[in-house]
Amino acid sequence: MVLVYLSLGSNIENRDAFLAHARQAIKDSFISVRFSNVYETEPVDMTDQPWFLNQVAEVQTEMEPNSLLEWVRALEAKSGRQRKVPKGPRTLDVDILLYGDWLIVEDHLEIPHPRMAQRRHVLIPLSDLAPGLEIPGIQETVQEALKQLCDSSQVKIHAPS
């Protein structure tokens, strides 16, 4: 069993419903599941789009990283995810943040997620679950990375509609 952290995000149509669907799929597919709070977050990179709902899931799995990536892509596809505009609006975005303490650099998969330590919308929900977790490759805890963050985007607790 490997401890894995997944980032969930949605910023179009019914964001709450897409995250709820993702949470249920995660509960149905993994064991020892925990979820962070849900946060409403300002878009970064491509800022001219609706705000996101973001959340992090902690799961235990026996899936290998590439099988997990296939599972993630299938979940996104079931939610109608279309990759038309890089970093653009999406029904559901699921990223593999951490896979145990593994470091993976492949053309199609990089773990830890390459920008996770630079993203407030990732580190804040991750800190709900594992503030003292050391991020492989950067030798900082989630909380330390959050304190040094240059990202000033807004992140606030989301109250479901």
Q: Which domains, ranges and CATH numbers included, belong to the chain? A: 2-157 (3.30.70.560)
Number of residues assigned to the chain: 161
- Residue 101 a catalytic site member: no
Opening angle at CA 109, ends 106 and 111, nearest 5: 100
Tens digits of per-residue pLDDT, 117-132? 999 999 999 999 999 9
- Residue 119 a catalytic site member: no
Is residue 67 within a helix (H) or strand (E), and if so which, with residue range?
A: helix 65-78
Tens digits of per-residue pLDDT, 27-62? 999 989 999 999 999 999 888 999 999 999 999 999
Per-residue pLDDT at 161 exceeds 70: no
Catalytic residue among 15, 95, 119, 120: 95
Mean pLDDT for all residues in the chain = 94
Catalytic residue among 16, 23, 73, 81: 81
Q: What confidence category does residue 85 fall into, taking pLDDT thresholds of 50, 70 and 90?
A: confident
Question: Which one, of 14, 3, 4, 5, lies nearest residue 92 by Cα?
Answer: 14
Q: What pLDDT score does 26 carry? A: 98
- Residue 73 a catalytic site member: no
